[in-house]
């Protein structure tokens, strides 16, 4: 892999901030915490942006998950659906072999082809790589892996998200939610950038930097 083909974390951070997928201010997370940053990759809603992001995912997978072989990219509904499609397209071009994409329905379809999965439905033993937007507590990622294993018997080989919020696992161990997810699932779980890296790579005011640092210190209990 040429250096030019590798993961450019600064470019990832700039893209996410420029399109509004990472915002700074005052927000309430799903867990009820008040946070100075918010991550929503639903804001990546332009064809050029999603193509660029898919290329970044493919580069990150090749670099941060080196040696991992996969047949299909799965994105949990709804926000990760375009991520799975864009990543599969970029990965197929990069690897020069077919890469399927797949996503889930929120409820089973009772007619037609039926089932919970749409797209390339992996067979038992085929290798699936899960992509998603952000990790907070990891609950939706665990549900996705359970679904894939239960519905198809496929082998989930790894997981890649765009942003690690650096939230704690919540059990007092000091582990991040991402590290705990990796341990619980038994597969590598990586993020293209974490929120500290985003702040370091983009132009934000001193107040924002101070607020993010204070929030992260609070999460760590410091």
Two tokens, residue 82: 């375009």
Annotated catalytic residue within 79, 106, 109, 141: 109
Annotated catalytic residue within 30, 79, 106, 111: 111
Beta-bridge mates of residue 128: 72, 156
Q: Which residues of 18-27 are buried (b: 16+ CB within 10 A; e: fewer)?
A: ebebbebeee
Q: d(Cα 31, Cα 34) in Å, to the nearest integer?
A: 9
Does the annotation count 79 as an active-site position? no
Residue with tokens 């890649």: 160
Q: d(Cα 134, Cα 25) in Å, to the nearest integer?
A: 18
Q: d(Cα 215, Cα 222) in Å, to the nearest integer?
A: 10
Q: At what angle do helices 139-152 and 177-185 cross, to 10 degrees?
A: 20
Q: d(Cα 188, Cα 156) in Å, to the nearest integer?
A: 10
Does the annotation count 111 as an active-site position? yes
Q: Which residues are catalytic?
A: 109, 111
């Amino acid at each position: 892999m040429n250096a030019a083909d590798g993961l450019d974390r600064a470019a990832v951070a700039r893209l996410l901030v420029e399109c509004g997928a990472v915002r700074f201010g005052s927000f309430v997370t799903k867990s009820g915490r008040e946070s100075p940053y918010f991550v929503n990759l639903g804001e990546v809603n332009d064809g050029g942006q999603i193509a660029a992001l898919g290329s970044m995912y493919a580069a990150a997978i090749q670099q941060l998950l080196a040696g991992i072989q996969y047949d299909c990219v799965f994105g949990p509904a709804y926000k990760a659906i375009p991520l799975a499609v864009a990543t599969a397209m970029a990965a197929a071009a990069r690897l020069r072999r077919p890469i399927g994409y797949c996503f889930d329905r929120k409820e089973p379809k009772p007619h037609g082809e039926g089932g919970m999965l749409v797209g390339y439905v992996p067979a038992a033993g085929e290798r699936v790589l899960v992509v998603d937007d952000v990790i907070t507590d990891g609950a939706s990622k665990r549900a996705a892996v359970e679904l894939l294993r239960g519905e198809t018997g496929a082998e989930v080989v790894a997981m890649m998200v765009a942003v690690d919020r650096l939230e704690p696992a919540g059990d007092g161990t000091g582990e991040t939610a991402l590290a705990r997810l990796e341990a619980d699932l038994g597969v590598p779980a990586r993020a293209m950038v974490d929120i500290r890296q985003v702040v370091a790579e983009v132009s934000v005011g001193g107040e924002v930097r101070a607020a993010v640092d204070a929030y992260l210190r609070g999460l760590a209990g410091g």
